[in-house]
Amino acid sequence: MPAPNTATFERPDLGAAYESFDHLSLMNGLVGLRVLRPFKVAAAAGNFSVVPPTEYHRDAAAVKRAPGAGYHRDELRFGQQAWNCEERGAEELLDDRERAAYGYTGIRFDQIGADRSVAKVLRNLEIEVAGLVQDSSGLSGQATGAGTAWTTHASATPLKNLLAARTSFRNLNGVYPNALVIEDRALVEMEQCAEYLDRVKYTQGPKDQSEMAGLAALLKVDEIIVAASTRNTAGLGLSPTFAGIWNPAIVSLVRVARSDDLREMTTGRTFMLEDLVIDEYRDESRRSDVVRARIDVQPNRIQPSLIWMVTGCV
């Protein structure tokens, strides 16, 4: 039944599907909020201090205190960064005539409208996060070339490439990465490389959860984050042209936040003023109910040094 008036009201019943599960598990292959984890904020904009990773590892000149002498003193070097959340949203029209014509099918048009709106919002957020994590601007030579592309299965050395990158990450920051972000196509090519197969040939089949855990153990990271999201870059009404949101030629080693402590050394966070909300209102001029998905966030690359890329993978 159409909404009775033009007032906007929230639809928690439609939003429940996204609250019951990880938002991204419903949107196949979207991993942006696993890489730059959400961090709740009370204001739309603000500032915070950032301590470079190297500051936590500098040796003191001396910490022994002689009688009558003072203790060693040091000065903390830190920087300031800001967040500025912006609202993102998308709407779907639920036309009265279409719902009347196809109501017999049992389709819940309001839920489908919510699903499509959420997908648009989260896919665009994914594009933003991928751009931040795979953008080399602001980085200082933080890339290792694959040498031989992983599509050359007989001689490519993806494990060697990634372990070398892990060491470079540690030499730059004093800490190791805790996650690997890899696009699905790069993973598929790596799984066919002789070097890889020789190490995992006694494990279970491709992309089995135990294989991902085994790969994480081989690369000495906590988790493997596989990005499999796609986007249709063709215009409305044109034949679809699908492309991956994440560049498969770049595999990134990162530090994913594990807490809500801003002092934690992490590649970045997604500052979130308002979580995903589903609204509905009536547009009588279109004889339609309108379902809207909205979120108020800002993805932020906080410590660029906590990224190391392997390039030319595929």
Q: Across residues 100-105, what is the average pLDDT?
A: 80
How much is the CA Rg of the chain, to the nearest whole Å? 24
DSSP code, position 176:
-
Express each pLDDT in 158-167 by its tens digit: 999 999 999 9
CA gap 205, 187 in Å, rounded: 13
SS3 label, residue 274: strand
Q: Residue 309 — pLDDT band, cuts 50, 70, 90? A: very high
- Summarize the confidence of residues 118-141 as an average pLDDT: 93
pLDDT of residue 314 exceeding 70, the answer is yes
Q: So what's the pLDDT on residue 21?
A: 42
Question: What are the start-end ranges of the H helices in the chain?
Answer: 12-19, 23-26, 32-35, 96-102, 109-133, 158-173, 184-191, 194-200, 209-219
Whole-number mean pLDDT of the chain?
88
Interval 108-121 mean pLDDT: 88
- CA–CA dist 30, 23 (Å, integer): 9
DSSP string, 126-152: HHHHHHHHT--TT-SS-EEE-SS-TT-
When comparing pLDDT for 74 and 82, which is higher? 82
User: H or E segment at 93?
Assistant: strand 86-95
**Beta pairing, strands 307-311 & 143-145:** parallel
Distances (CA, A) of 206 to 64, 186, 187, 232: 55, 13, 10, 27
Taking the CA atoms of 300, 302, 303 and 304 in sequence, report the sign of the dihedral they define: positive
Asked if pLDDT for residue 56 goes beyond 80, the answer is no
Count of CB atoms situated within 10 Å of the CB of 212? 15
pLDDT at residue 20 in the model: 44
pLDDT for the residue numbered 91? 95
Write the pLDDT tens digit of every residue in 189-244. Answer: 999 999 999 988 765 554 556 778 889 999 999 999 999 998 888 888 899 999 89
| CATH number, domain 9-53+80-311 | 3.90.1690.10
Predicted confidence band of residue 43 (pLDDT cuts 50, 70, 90)? very high
| Digit-coded pLDDT (tens) for 260-308 | 998 899 999 999 999 889 999 999 999 999 999 999 999 999 999 999 9
Percent of the chain with pLDDT over 70: 90
- In this prediction, residues 76-93 reach a mean pLDDT of 92
Average pLDDT estimate for 130-153 = 95
Query: Token digits for 105?
Result: 């099918």
pLDDT over 90 for what percent of the chain? 61
pLDDT value of position 44: 97
Please determine, for residue 259, whether its predicted confidence score (pLDDT) is greater than 90.
yes
Is 57 a residue whose pLDDT tops 90?
A: no
CA–CA gap between residue 113 and residue 111 (Å, rounded):
5
Distance, in Å, from the CA atom of 126 to the CA atom of 15, rounded to the nearest integer, reads 19
Question: How many CB atoms neighbour CB 145 within 10 A?
Answer: 11
